[in-house]
Amino acid sequence: MTNPFSLSGKTVLVTGATAGLGRQTAITASQLGARVIITGRDEQRLAATHTVLEGSGHVALPADLTHQEQRDELVAKLPALDGIAHCAGVTLLHPFKFSDEKRYREVYSINVEAPLFLTQRLFKNRKLSNGGSIVFIASLGAFIGARGHSIYAGSKAAIVGIMRVLAHELAGNAIRVNCVSPGMVKTEVVEGFANQVSPELVAADEARYPLGYGTPEDVANTVAFYLAPASKWITGTNLIMDGGLT
């Protein structure tokens, strides 16, 4: 019997594979048998991810996805894809009253425009195989009003809304589109948060999570499920992963 959770024989693109959730998603996909194509802005860190992928045939293609020319160059190099995990993103903790257009544009160009225009270009160039899967990493922040997160939360809410539209528009090609929305996950982002506040505040925040903070593996396993045949009847959904917080 074929394992519906296997990614064997699948070719998967993972963006933001230089660190955090993107790096772990690439590793997990390779462990499940996928041929993984990874991309990110930092060529050295991307190469480091490439060296720890299991199996063979993996490819590292550096690109800054906020630039149309580099998106087009990436698409031109890609084979037909069975799955995409949009993991590239940036966070910003900034009070609304001090926000400005420059900061909004910077965050939205990375969190919204880059993944959506890349997806559009892939579809137009027939690089998305029928029956494939697109997974966006959104955020719990899109659904709760955390102080100082208006720009970041807005960008992730935009992704969730557009995902639901894409799920309908791409269903004719049996391409499913879903979001995963994690709460706090133990990545470099959380480490940066811990450096900005006291350890006591971090511990108090984690205590609000009945199951504690998540790990990159937790999120990567869920993304892999959405990429795998096991989820072939699921599209247009957003899965909140928050250890029971909400």
CATH code (residue 42)? 3.40.50.720
Tally of domains within the chain = 1
Domain-embedded: residue 115 = yes
Between these two residues, 15 and 197, which has the higher pLDDT value? Answer: 15
Extended strands (E) in 55-170: 59-60, 81-86, 128-137
What band does 195 get if pLDDT is binned at 50, 70 and 90?
Answer: low
Bridging pattern class, strands 176-182 and 238-241:
parallel
**% of the chain with per-residue pLDDT over 70:** 96
The region of weakest confidence among 10-14, 146-150, 173-177, 239-243 is: 146-150
In contact, 38 and 32? CB cutoff 8 Å: no
- pLDDT for 190: 66
The region of weakest confidence among 103-107, 165-169, 185-189 is: 185-189
Q: Which domain holds residue 119?
A: 11-241
d(CA 114, CA 125): 16
d(CA 235, CA 137): 14
Domain-embedded: residue 193 = yes
- CB burial class (10 A; 0-12, 13-18, 19+) of residue 172? exposed
33-45 residue pLDDT tens: 999 999 999 999 9
What band does 192 get if pLDDT is binned at 50, 70 and 90?
Answer: low
132-162 residue pLDDT tens: 999 999 999 999 877 777 889 999 999 999 9
Q: How far is CA 121 from the centre of its chain?
A: 18
Domain-embedded: residue 3 = no
What band does 85 get if pLDDT is binned at 50, 70 and 90?
Answer: very high
Token digits for 179?
Answer: 């979001």
pLDDT at residue 216 above 70? yes
Domain-embedded: residue 25 = yes
Range 196-205 average pLDDT: 81
How many helices (H) does the chain have, and how many strands (E)?
9, 7
Domain-embedded: residue 2 = no
pTM of the complete model: 0.95
* CA neighbor of 230 nearest in space, from 7, 12, 81, 9: 7
- Specify the DSSP class assigned to residue 52: T
- pLDDT for 196: 67
pLDDT at residue 100 above 90? no
Domain-embedded: residue 182 = yes
Residue 220 sits at the vertex; the CA angle it makes with 219 and 225, to the nearest 5 degrees, is 100
d(CA 177, CA 166): 7
- pLDDT for 200: 83
Q: How much of the chain is in helix, strand and coil states, percent to nearest 5?
A: 50, 15, 35
**% of the chain with per-residue pLDDT over 90:** 81
Domain-embedded: residue 81 = yes
d(CA 50, CA 61): 10
Buried b (16+ CB within 10 A) or exposed e, 177-198: bbbbbbbbbbbebbeebeeeee
Between these two residues, 127 and 91, which has the higher pLDDT value? Answer: 127
